Amino acid sequence: MKQTTARPGAGEPAAPPAATARRRGKALEQAIFEAALEQLTSGGYARLTMEGVAGAAQTGKAALYRRWPSKLELALDALGSTLPPLTDVPDLGSVRAELRQLIGTFQVAMDSPAGSAMRALMAEVDHGGGGLLKDFVMARLVGPARRAGLEVLRRGERRGEVRSGAVNEMVADVWPAMLLYRTKFGAESVDAEFCDHLLEDVLLPLIRPQAG
Amino acid sequence: MKQTTARPGAGEPAAPPAATARRRGKALEQAIFEAALEQLTSGGYARLTMEGVAGAAQTGKAALYRRWPSKLELALDALGSTLPPLTDVPDLGSVRAELRQLIGTFQVAMDSPAGSAMRALMAEVDHGGGGLLKDFVMARLVGPARRAGLEVLRRGERRGEVRSGAVNEMVADVWPAMLLYRTKFGAESVDAEFCDHLLEDVLLPLIRPQAG
Amino acid sequence: MKQTTARPGAGEPAAPPAATARRRGKALEQAIFEAALEQLTSGGYARLTMEGVAGAAQTGKAALYRRWPSKLELALDALGSTLPPLTDVPDLGSVRAELRQLIGTFQVAMDSPAGSAMRALMAEVDHGGGGLLKDFVMARLVGPARRAGLEVLRRGERRGEVRSGAVNEMVADVWPAMLLYRTKFGAESVDAEFCDHLLEDVLLPLIRPQAG
Amino acid sequence: MKQTTARPGAGEPAAPPAATARRRGKALEQAIFEAALEQLTSGGYARLTMEGVAGAAQTGKAALYRRWPSKLELALDALGSTLPPLTDVPDLGSVRAELRQLIGTFQVAMDSPAGSAMRALMAEVDHGGGGLLKDFVMARLVGPARRAGLEVLRRGERRGEVRSGAVNEMVADVWPAMLLYRTKFGAESVDAEFCDHLLEDVLLPLIRPQAG
DNA sequence: CCTTAATCGAGACGGTACGTCGTGTCTTTAT
DNA sequence: ATAAAGACACGACGTACCGTCTCGATTAAGG
């Protein structure tokens, strides 16, 4: 009458156990991250489930909740563990070249698997994420982008390539803003052509010295 | 094996019914929209549940699913029914004044209840929304914003306030991009000061004629 | 955004209409009975749904509820319209022959499609059916069976084949009781062998004159 | 997109929980049985709903579906847990006395709450129940009844109270068949008078030695 | 013959229950 | 002590029918 349920370990003692030695600490954490990123990348944040991650990582939900109080925290940590840092731009001689590289780096990063997961996560900013996600994005994405941009602009200012007074916090936000905007609402993906137009039609005119 | 059978005319003489006439068509739709917007505004998209909407609108879930195949579709329609259109900007004599008004209108719209719901929804762009949400945002928010901006800039170009060649599609995307960016990642809300800086430090320098 | 719904009669004026002339009165009733019996026979009472009957009979639910207040009433009426009456048994010369024919008739009737539906319905006796189903079974099945049995027994009594005093209401219930019992709980269906045993081992001993 | 997110330690300091310790295994099962039997007894099988049982037993539907694949299975198990076994009849000296007691025991059992639920369930035999309910009734009701009856008859045969050759499988089915038949179709309930008539007019004549 | 009223076909409506899935907590068993 | 597994209480999901109701379209009847 009752369902069989077939508790493992009841009858057959051989099949499942000791497939791999029981992981703990960092090894377990790494497996969880991989499972979480896989789900994030393939299905977005919505289809990232604690149950699914536990299953894919061959562990129990308790192991997750012991480490992260919520799905968002787990996702953030998983992402943080693979997202490559936005490195500073070396002196390439011209603002144009340096900005071009900055944009290109950002673009490539957002097209990577980790970037895909990142984009999936960013969607949650307005939600229950509260400050957590916003902080994360600021710390890992927007902050470095702005900082690197400011450095490039200041270097150009010292070179005389940049109009005096053109460099300020807001100007440094223009290019990440445009890239994220394009990512979310643009018809196509962020391609090289877009980056060129952004550079030539927006960024350079914005900082160009006024009169030859 | 499910029916109540409760033969008509058995016991209770129809106590609860006929409280209000049964709504249909547009009337019902409107009630559903109101309930959905209330939930969207107060709890965000995550706390918008079909069950909750049905309950608040005093109807059944079937009435929802008959009209919208998913939560997102419902939310979009509900939003579309209240979101005020972004009207064009009249000729105010100067590009600065017109851009200022454009930005202000957008800012006010995003701060309204409908705008709050809108922001809550935008988070879903990357998700299962597929093209739906992207299309909606393009049609109702970004598209009009870009169009209005382009018109203002072209008018300024005719007046000679705008540097020749400065007006293109990408430039018209700068101000909505910056506003949405600020909305999502900025520390504080979008206030008047931010709008002023955006105008003075970014938009005007970008289009200003080269020879002062 | 909204589902299409495609109201018939909106655009295309040609396709669906006038497939068959609209039925009413007896013709419609007959179609409903057929649909109901089909569902009763194939899936039992549980899978007989008003919605399904309306669909299969190409009519609306209102046409059903206008005629029958409940599913049970419909089922009963549908059944009543096809169930053949249990005719009386002619004088065959011996109680054995007459009882044998009585049992055989009953058995055949219960094996027919209508009988299958009948069995499906009988299950509901204890349920919400209240007196309705019980009355129906009594009037159409048990009553005639008992009556016909009593007549056979009395005829036998007059012939002297039946022990004096053996005939009473309860004895006349034995054979229908045994057949229904077998129908519900017996391992196999009611076959000829079973009928023979019932006759030889139970019914005849029960009424046989005591001493040769 | 479904989670509440409601971070732990946010607002309410855990008001409702820990009312009673969370039940598991047998304890939970018992509570479910009680709830199910209550619904079965009061409203019949039709008004026994999984949702209702879960609610009354203060658990979730998942806990039910984890154990029983369907309502019928649950009902059967619940019933099986309370239905008293039909004990064998001791030697009382005469077949009449022993049969009387057998019938009486059965009658009392069917009038008990569990018996009421049993009757409600028996209605489902012909339905989707497949063999399940049939098997249950055979194992718990009909089988023991037949077995006990056979034993009584054989004992009587040894005593000489029973006509030689009168005892066979079919004869042992007569009294349960008559009782169930009466239960379902009889005008009144199964009372003492009916039992007496059954005994005197049917069972005893059926087995009485031929030579008075 | 033409209006008028009834009824038909279709399906929306407000509900209840279904069976599934995921959440976050808690137990159990075996390392 | 912690890992793996999964039960537990809960809430929402999307579907199926219930019985009531509205809405044209059709059709049988009465004037």
* Partner D contacted by A72 (CB < 8 A): yes
Chains in contact with B, where contact means 3 or more Cβ–Cβ distances below 8 Å, are A, C, D
Looking at C127-136, D130-139, D160-169, D171-180, which range is the least confident one?
A: C127-136
Buried b / exposed e along C128-163 (16+ C-beta atoms within 10 A): bbeebbbebbbebbbebbbebbbbbbebbbeeebbb
Tens digit of pLDDT for each residue in A59-118? 989 999 999 988 888 888 888 888 877 778 889 989 999 999 999 888 888 877 788 778
Q: What percent of chain B has pLDDT over 70?
A: 83
pLDDT in tens, A121-134: 776 655 555 567 77
Angle at D163 (CA atoms; ends D157, D169), nearest 5 degrees: 70
Distances in Å between the alpha carbon of C204 and those of A189, B105, C36?
A: 91, 100, 40
Residue D92 or residue D123, greater confidence: D92
Tell me the H-state helices in B88-197. Answer: 95-111, 113-122, 130-137, 143-159, 169-185, 192-197
pLDDT given at position A127: 52
Distance spanning both ends of chain C, measured CA to CA: 91
Say how many CA atoms lie within 13 Å of D80 toward its Cβ: 17
Q: How far is CA C100 from the centre of its chain?
A: 20
What is the DSSP track for C22-90? PP-HHHHHHHHHHHHHHHHHHHTGGG--HHHHHHHTTS-HHHHHHH-SSHHHHHHHHHHHHPPP-PPPP
Sequential DSSP letters for D165-203:
T---HHHHHHHHHHHHHHHHH-SS---HHHHHHIIIIII
Reported as a single tens digit per residue, the pLDDT across C138-189 is 888 888 999 999 999 999 999 999 988 889 888 999 999 998 888 877 666 6
Judge contact between A52 and A39, C-beta under 8 A.
yes
Indicate the helix (H) or strand (E) that contains B140.
none
What's the confidence (pLDDT) of residue C126? 55
| C-beta separation of C96 from C127 below 8 A | no
> What is the C-alpha end-to-end distance of chain B, expressed in Å?
85
pLDDT of residue D17: 42
Query: In terms of Cα–Cα distance, which of B82, B80, B83, B86 is closest to B148?
Result: B86
Hey, is the C-beta of B1 within 8 angstroms of any chain C C-beta?
yes
Closest partner residue to D177 (CB to CB) among C127, C170, C178 is C178
Q: Are B1 and C46 in contact (CB under 8 A)?
A: yes
Kind and range of the H or E run holding A86? none
Is the pLDDT at B51 greater than 80? The verdict is yes
Q: Pick the range with the lowest mean pLDDT from B85-94, D87-96, D168-177.
A: B85-94
| Residue among C164, C41, D66, C81 nearest A6 (CA) | D66
Distances C181 to A4, C130, C190, D78 between C-alpha atoms, Å: 32, 21, 10, 24
B70 touches strand F (CB under 7 A): yes
Q: Nearest CB to D142: which of C123, C173, C185? A: C185
Q: What is the pLDDT of residue C94?
A: 93
Q: Does D196 contact chain C (CB < 8 Å)?
A: no
Element (H, E) at B15: none
Gap between the Cα atoms of D97 and D100, Å rounded: 5
- Residue A182 has a pLDDT of 84
Q: Give B65-75 pLDDT, tens digit per residue.
A: 999 998 888 99
Amino acid code (one letter) for C23: R
Burial (0-12, 13-18, 19+ Cβ within 10 Å), B79: buried
Note the pLDDT of residue D151: 93
How many residue contacts between B and D have a Cβ separation below 8 Å?
Answer: 17
pLDDT of amino acid A125: 56
Distance CA A181, CA A185 (A): 6
Q: For CA atoms D87, D88, D92, D98, give the dihedral sign.
A: positive
Instruction: Please tell me which of the candidates B2, B3, B46 has its beta carbon nearest to residue D1.
Output: B46
Average pLDDT over residues B67-95: 88
Strand E bases with any atom < 7 A from protein Cβ: 7-31
What's the whole-model pTM score? 0.80
Closest residue, chain A, to D6 (C-alpha): A128
Residue the block writes with tokens 């017109």: B98
Q: Write the burial class of residue A81 (CB in 10 Å: 0-12 exposed, 13-18 middle, 19+ buried).
A: middle
pLDDT per position as a tens digit, D23-57: 888 889 999 999 999 998 888 888 899 999 999 99
Answer yes or no: is pLDDT of C5 > 60.
Answer: no
Amino acid at C170: M
Query: Per mean pLDDT, which range of A134-148, B14-28, D54-68 is the poorest?
Result: B14-28
Banded model confidence at residue B108, pLDDT cuts 50, 70, 90: confident
Q: pLDDT band for position B13 (50/70/90)?
A: very low
Nucleotide nearest to D66 (CA to C1'): F7
Contact D153, D95 (CB under 8 A): yes
Predicted confidence band of residue A9 (pLDDT cuts 50, 70, 90): very low
DSSP A169-184: HHHHHHHHHHHHHHHH
Q: Is C70 in Cβ contact with B5 (below 8 Å)? A: yes
The full length of chain A comes to: 212
Say what the pLDDT of residue D99 is.
93
Mean pLDDT of C86-96: 90
Query: How many Å lie between the alpha carbon of B130 and the closest alpha carbon of chain D?
Result: 15
Q: Long-range contact list for D136-141, CB < 8 A, 24+ apart?
A: D136/A1, D136/D76, D136/D79, D136/D80, D137/C185, D138/C185, D140/D80, D140/D83, D140/D85, D141/D86, D141/D176
Integer Cα distance of D86 and D102 in angstroms:
9
Q: What is the pLDDT of residues D111-164, one digit of tens each?
A: 887 887 887 777 655 555 567 777 888 888 888 999 999 999 999 999 999 988
Instruction: Tell me the per-residue pLDDT of A154-194, one tens digit each, with 9 for 90 and over.
Output: 999 899 888 888 888 888 899 989 988 887 776 666 688 88
Percent of chain C past pLDDT 70, that is, above it, reads 83
Q: What is the predicted pLDDT for the residue at D175?
A: 93
Which chains have at least 3 CB atom pairs separated by less than 8 Å from chain D?
A, B, C
pLDDT score of B121 = 75
Does position D89 have pLDDT exceeding 50, yes or no?
yes
Is D39 within 8 Å of D53 (Cβ atoms)? yes
Contact C3 B77 (CB under 8 A): no
Instruction: Count chain C–chain D contacts defined by CB atoms under 8 A.
Output: 112
Which domains can be identified in chain B, with CATH numbers?
25-74 (1.10.10.60), 83-207 (1.10.357.10)
**DSSP structural state of residue C69:** S
Residues 109-148, chain D: which have Cβ within 8 Å of C?
119-120, 122-128, 134, 137-138, 142
A53-62, A114-123, A145-154: which has the minimum mean pLDDT? A114-123
Query: For position D140, what pLDDT does the model report?
Result: 86
Q: Chain centroid to CA C72: how far?
A: 13
pLDDT value of residue A65: 92
Q: Which of C211, C199, C96 is nearest to C163 (CA)?
A: C211
- Smallest CA–CA distance, residue B5 to chain C, in Å, is 7
Out of A3, A70, A129, the one facing D67 most closely (by C-beta) is: A3
| pLDDT beyond 80 at B119 | no
The span from the CA of A76 to the CA of C104, in Å, is 77
Cβ-count burial of D187 within 10 angstroms (0-12 exposed, 13-18 middle, 19+ buried)? exposed
Does the CB of A50 sit below 7 A from strand F?
Answer: no
Rounded to the nearest 5°, which phi and psi values hold at A62? -60, -40
Tell me the C-alpha distance between B54 and B61, whole Å: 5
Give pLDDT, residue D15: 39
Q: Do A3 and D69 touch (CB under 8 A)?
A: yes
